[in-house]
Amino acid sequence: MNFDFSDEQKQMRDAARKFLAEKCPPKAVREVLDGKATYDKALWKGLAEMGFLGVAIPEEFGGAGAGHLELCVIAEEMGRALAPVPFSSTVYLAAEALLLAGSDAQKQKWLPKIASGDAIGTLALFEGKGNPSPQAIKLSAAGGTLNGVKKPVPDGAIADFAVVAARTGSTGRDADISLFLVDLKAGGVEVRSLTNIDPTHGQAELTFKNCKAEPLGAAGEGWGILTQVLDRAAVLMAFEQVGGSDRALEMGRDYALDRIAFGRPIGSFQAVKHILADMYVSATLARSNCYYGAWALSTNASELPEAAAAARISATQAFQHCSKNNIQVHGGMGFTWEFDCHMYYRRANATAVTLGSLSYWEDQLIDRMRKKNAA
């Protein structure tokens, strides 16, 4: 048994951390936060040059052909650095959907461009309030054209293409849903940027009006593919959340060591220490759940649905817990724009809902555990 990453994978993590420390300091994140750029284009190019964008894409499609464990360690570093680039939407959602369901021609068209940093992709799933469900998908597909509105779509305003979930039937069953691939630059889509709690990652509304689209995967199999894509993205996003949790914990710890009040470092007061100890506990539980998720993802194990839901819940809780208590440890300074604490708080609460809410994943976890028990 080795319930840990290999030495090579750890070296890749170190390389990613070093690269991001240099190319993505908080100052760079703030460029996007302050609206001076929609995303960090130089960083995106750099990630492509490092081979990080295509790390889990097979070599025949222009990737590095490493694997998902390697992608997990990079995801953790992306979360830690709050990288203001469309990594999760392009790599966890669009690329995974293409890998799972794309035709050879579709993979050849988009995957090399993802790996080289020349295409940004996303998944257009949600239509307003609510969690992932076939019933919530109203956008219609008929005769190869799409009509309807998707929002929020992560990184939708900067994406070159989108995987779109559409309704192709009205039987009330999962088979009503099919996936489509849309070139967002080819016309037929109106894009509107939406204000959101984490401006370091854009959200958009996409309005499809007789928009041309090609099927992704077989008709009627959209919901099954989506479920798999969301599970895989849940594990990868959970690594980002764990990376963010760890960084928030470190920030709180460092501040508690440096800040003097009542004549002593505030980290010597048990009231503060215990907050930090609890942050460590939640981050550790999340990391361990994520490692199980990584194992399930990398081996495509039958345990993946359960492991992904557990990783998702645990990491969401940890990032929310660590980021809010990092502010608490910082006191008033933690509530200033100038300090970086709020950037983690924003990211934590945005990632907590963007793949479906905590209560949605709680529900999923229990369903999946029951299924396993019954089997």
Partner 1 sequence: MDLKDNGMNFDDTPQEAAFRAEAKAWIGANAPKQYEEELRKSSLGRTVLKGANILEVAKAWQKRKADAGWACLHWPKEYGGRGSSPIERVIWQQEEGPFGKLSGMFIIGHGMCGPTMMAFAGEEEKRKYLPPLASGEKVWCQLFSEPAGGSDVAGLRTRAEKKGDDWIINGQKIWTSGAHYSDYGILLTRTDPNVAKHKGLTMFFLDMKSPGVEVRPIKQASGQSDFNEVYFTDVKIPDSQRLGAVNDGWNVSLTTLMNERMSIGAGVSTGFPELFDFCNSLMLDDGPAIEDRNVRSRLANYAVKASGLKYTSMRAISALSKGDRPGPENSIGKLVAGSMVQEVAMYALDLQGAAGVLSGPEDAEVAGKFQAMLLRAPGTRVEGGTDEIMRNIIAERVLGLPGDIRVDKDVPFNKIPTKGRA
Of the candidates 108, 227, 268, 349, which one interacts with partner 1 according to CB under 8 A?
A: 268
Tell me the sheet residues that pair with 154: 203
Rule CB under 8 A: is residue 320 a binding residue for partner 1? no
Rule CB under 8 A: is residue 241 a binding residue for partner 1? no
Tell me the sheet residues that pair with 261: 264
Of the candidates 140, 265, 339, 353, which one interacts with partner 1 according to CB under 8 A?
A: 265
Rule CB under 8 A: is residue 317 a binding residue for partner 1? yes
Cβ distance to partner 1 smaller for residue 169 or 267: 267
Instruction: Find all residues with CB under 8 Å of 209, minimum gap 6, and list them.
Output: 147, 188, 189, 190
Rule CB under 8 A: is residue 18 a binding residue for partner 1? no
Instruction: Name the helix (H) or strand (E) containing 212.
Output: strand 203-212
Instruction: Identify which range of 14-22, 162-170, 267-275, 340-348 contacts partner 1 by CB under 8 A.
Output: 267-275
CA atoms of 356 and 341, how far apart (whole Å): 24
Q: Which residues of 310-333 are buried (b: 16+ CB within 10 A; e: fewer)?
A: bbbbbbbbbbbbbbbbbbebbeee
How remote is the C-alpha of 192 from its chain's centroid? 21
Of the candidates 2, 170, 171, 195, which one interacts with partner 1 according to CB under 8 A?
A: 2
Minimum gap (Å) between residue 45 Cβ and partner 1: 29
Rule CB under 8 A: is residue 345 a binding residue for partner 1? no
Q: Give the footprint of partner 1 on residues 59-98 (CB under 8 A).
A: 69
**Per-residue H/E/C for 324-345:** HHHHHHHHHHHHCCCCCHHHHH
Binding positions for partner 1, rule: CB under 8 A? 1-9, 69, 249, 253, 256-257, 264-265, 267-268, 270, 273-274, 276-278, 280-281, 284-286, 288-289, 291-292, 294-295, 298-299, 309-310, 313-314, 317, 359, 361-363, 365-366, 369-370, 373
